[in-house]
Structure 1
Amino acid sequence: MPVQTDGRRLQRLCAAALIVHLCAACARRTSPEAGATAAPSPEADAAAAPSPEADAAAAPSLAGPAENPAGDEITPVYGKAEGAPEPLAARLCDALHALPARRKAACCGGAAGFQAAAECARALSVAVRARAVTLSTDEVGRCVEAMERSLDGCDWVSPLAAPVPPACEGIVRGALDEGARCRSSLECAGGLRCDGAGPTDAGTCRAPRAAGPCGLSVDALAAVTRQTRYAEAHPECRGHCAGRACTDDVPLGGRCEAHAACGRGRRCVDARCSEAALPPAGAACLGGLCAAGARCVDGRCAAPKAEGEACARDGECRAACVRRARGGAAGGVCGMRCAAP
C-alpha cells in the first residue's frame, strides 16, 4: 500500500523536524553569560540580503548556524527569518500543507487543523535568501496545479497526509558545491549530500561515502518541503544504507532480501536483483511493487478504486475502505475517512 506507507513516513519526518525545531528554539540558561545579547545569526543576515532576482551577483551565505561556545542554547539549523516569506516559497508551502488542510476541512467540516505551511515557508525562505537553493516559477506552478487536481473531491481524504504528486518532487534545487557548508542535502548540488547536518547542526556538501554510518538524522528542509524522494538525487552512500551503515549494492542477478540492497533503479525479485520495469495496473506484481499510479493488491497491480466501489481493505482505495451501513452487504465501499478508526 504505497500511498499509506508514504503518508506515515512523511508524517513521522515532519513531526520529528518540527519537534526538534520547537525544542531547539528554547534557550537553556546554564551560565552567567546566558543573558548576554547574542550576535546576529547568519540566517538573519541572509534574510536581509537581496533576493536572487534582485542581485544575481551577490555571494551566498554558507556559514551555517553560529557556534555557541557557552553551550547554553540549542540553535535550530534554520534560524529566524526576517520579514515576510519569499513569495515563491510561500506559494509552494501553501500548496503542500495548507491547501490539503483546507480541502479536508471543507470535506469533513470544522476548521483546518495544524499544518506546517508557516514552518515550511520560513525555512525555505532562509535557504532561498542565502542562495543555497533555487526555485523555478514554472515548476512551482506545475506543483500547485498538480496538488489542486489531486485534491479534487473528497475521496482522497484519510487520516494520513495527502500524497505528493510527482510534479512536486525534486523542485527545490541545491546551489552549493562540494565542500560548502550546508544545512540540508537539498542545498547541495545534484549528487552531493549534506554530511553531518541535522535539525540543529550544519554539515558539509560531500560526495556519497563508500563506508561509514548513515541514516542517523532527519533532513529538516526535506521534511517540511515534503521532498520524500530527495535521497535519490542526494544519496548518502555509494551503495545503500543497511543497518545504519553504508554497504555495497548487490550486483545484478545476485541474491537479495530487500529492494534497497540492489541499488537505485533495481529491485529484489524472487530473491535476485533485477532491472525489470515495474508492471502497470492489470499485471502481476513484481516483488510486491507496481508502476506509479498502481498498487499491489492480492498479487496483481491495480489502480486505486473510486469512491463508492466495493472493497475489503483500505489498500484497495484511494483513501479508505469504509464500512457499509448496518444491514447492508458484507464488506465496505471506498470513500473518505476523516479520522483514524
Structure 2
Amino acid sequence: MPVSAGQDPSVVTVLHDGDTPPGLESRTDGTRLRLASTADELAAALPGSDVLLTWDFTSDAVRQVWSAELTGDLRWVHTASAGVDRVAFPELLASPVTLTNSRGVFDRPMAEFVLGAVVAFAKDTARSLALQREHTWQHRETETVAGKVVTVVGSGPIGHAIAHLLDAVGTTVRLVGRRAADGVHAFDELPGLLPDTDYLVLAAPLTDATRGMLHAGTIARLPERARVVNVGRGPLIVQDDLVEALRGGRIAGAALDVFEVEPLPADSPLWAMENVLISPHMSGDVVGWKDMLVELFVDNLTRYRDGRELRNVVDKERGYVSSSGGQA
C-alpha cells in the first residue's frame, strides 16, 4: 500500500555523522531538508518532518529520541543499510510509520567480498603476505575451492548473490532461509547441514531467531576444517564462543566483517589470531556505493510524493523485506 498520496512538499530530516548524502539536495527539488548529526539535533528537527533518512545507520539517535510528541508528523523512515536492527525498536515497530531499507545496493559487492574471503583461505593468502614481509621463501600446497560445501544462512538477495558467485567457482552451495522454499532449506534444518560444511557464511538479518545463532553448540557440529564468514551482523555470533573455538583449533578460521561491538576493541583477541581475517564492516562498501544509496532514496522519495508504492518496505513482524526477491 502507498504510504500516502500527494506529499508535496515534503520535509525530510537526515540523520548523518558529518558525512552527508552526496548530491541529495540537488536531487530533491521542492523538498525541505533538515540535517542532524546528534540526538539533540535530531530531536529538534523531527517535529514537522514527514520523512526521516537515517544516513548514519550506525547511530542509536532515533531510538534515543523517539516519542509521539516528536514523531507525530512522521510517515516514513528509510535507512541507508540493508539491516534494520538499529531502527527496528519496539516503539517504531508499533507505530504506523513505514520503514524501508536499502536492499539491492549491497548484494553484488558483498558476494564478491565473500568469494574473496573463501579464495583467500583456500590459497593461504594471509600466510603468503606474512612470509613476504619476512622476506621468506616457503613453498606450500594450498586447497582448491571447487568441490567445497558452502552453507549460506540468509536467502534474500545478498544470500542469492553469494550463492551465484560461489556456484560459478565450483562450490556446492546450500541456502538457508526462514522457511523452506524452492532451493532453500528451512532455518531449523541448519544443524543437520553443519557437519559437512567447509564454509559457513552468515548473511542473515539480525532477528530474535538469528541472534546468537552461532554458539558453542552449533560450532561443535562443524568439522575442524570449517571456516566461518560473517557479513551479516556481529550478534549473529556469540563472539566469546567463536574465540574459544578458534583458539582450540575446533574450526580452521573465520573472516569477520561485523562484530558484537564496533569498532572492534583494540584488546580483542581476534586481532592477533593468524586464522582470522578482520575487516571494518566494509563488505558492501565499494566505490560509488553512497551515490547508489542516494539514487535509491531519491527514487523512493519520488514515489512517496506521488503516492505510489515504496520499494523495500520492511515487514515489521519479520524484520526484513519479505516481498519479491527471495526470503531473508
TM range (shorter): under 0.3
Q: TM-score, normalised by structure 1?
A: 0.24
Structure with the greater alpha carbon radius of gyration: 1
Q: TM-score, normalised by structure 2?
A: 0.25
Structure number with higher relative contact order (C-alpha < 8 Å, ≥ 6 residues apart): 2
